[in-house]
A = this chain, B = another copy of it.
Amino acid sequence: MRNKEFDSEAALKDALATFWQHGFERTNMPELLDSMGVGRASFYNAFGSKREVFLQILDLYFEMVRSHLCGLIADANDSRHAVALLVDGILNVAKSPEANATGWRGCLIGNTALELGANDPEIVSRLKKGVDILRALFRKAIALPSTSGVQRSQLDIDQAALQLVASVQGLLVLAKSGLSDADIKSARTAILATIT
């Protein structure tokens, strides 16, 4: 089709950045089109709606996060180190100089859950996939050998992974509520201390 001359992959990446920074509702159409560098007609032709783009950028985000974090722990060979790499990896991804109120844009999974997760079943079913990706990454990290020689059952691994995902998401909530850097650092230390 002639009017798909723009690079739709690049346009989606730009849309991801915009939605991540401002959320679904606060991103209006002119802003979205502007950030994607596409005209209105091309946009509707290629994507159909703002919501459809949002669903696509959620998938793009999940894949980006999965591949980035997976790479971070690819060479790790002990559980505690791998968990620290994941926690710091998520925190780093969640920082943004453009988030001028706190310096944190957060994780798009958490942001979307708290913006839309009360009333939007289709979004929730997408978000489950994102949470499952994070849980699987932490399970993989925790299942690595422990330098302190701890043996973990599959149940222990599952529970610790869930707990770590919750703690990191919770820390991002507090970071976006204006938690001080010192408190963020201390909370990070406490999270890592749960894995021996």
**Residues of B contacting A174 with CB < 8 Å?**
113, 131, 162, 165-166, 169
Q: Is residue A11 contacting chain B, with contact meaning CB distance below 8 A?
A: no
- Complex CA gap A110/B104 in Å reads 14
Report the nearest B residue to A105, measured CB to CB: B118
How near does chain B come to A192, taking the closest CB pair, in angstroms? 12
Contact with B along A163-191 (1 / 0, CB 8 A): 10111111111101111000100110011
**Residues of B contacting A165 with CB < 8 Å?**
170, 174
**Residues of B contacting A125 with CB < 8 Å?**
178
Q: A22-B119, A99-B118, A101-B121 are in contact. Are A187 and B170 (CB under 8 A)?
A: no
Q: Which of B25, B109, B178 contacts A117 (CB 8 A)?
A: B178
A106 touches B117 (CB 8 A): yes
Oligomer copy total:
2
A162 touches B177 (CB 8 A): no
A178 touches B128 (CB 8 A): yes
**Residues of B contacting A118 with CB < 8 Å?**
21-22, 96, 99-102, 104-106, 176
Q: Which of B26, B119, B173 contacts A21 (CB 8 A)?
A: B119
Contacts A101-B117, A118-B176, A166-B167 aside, 8 further interface pairs with beta carbons under 8 A come to A100-B119, A117-B177, A128-B177, A159-B186, A166-B170, A167-B167, A168-B170, A173-B173
18 contacts between A and B (CB under 8 A): A22-B119, A96-B118, A101-B119, A101-B120, A101-B124, A114-B114, A124-B176, A125-B178, A127-B176, A128-B178, A131-B174, A162-B174, A162-B186, A162-B187, A162-B190, A167-B167, A167-B170, A169-B174
Which residues of chain A have a CB within 8 Å of any CB of chain B? Answer: 21-23, 25-26, 96, 99-102, 104-106, 109-111, 113-121, 123-125, 127-128, 130-131, 159, 162-163, 165-174, 176-179, 183, 186-187, 190-191, 194
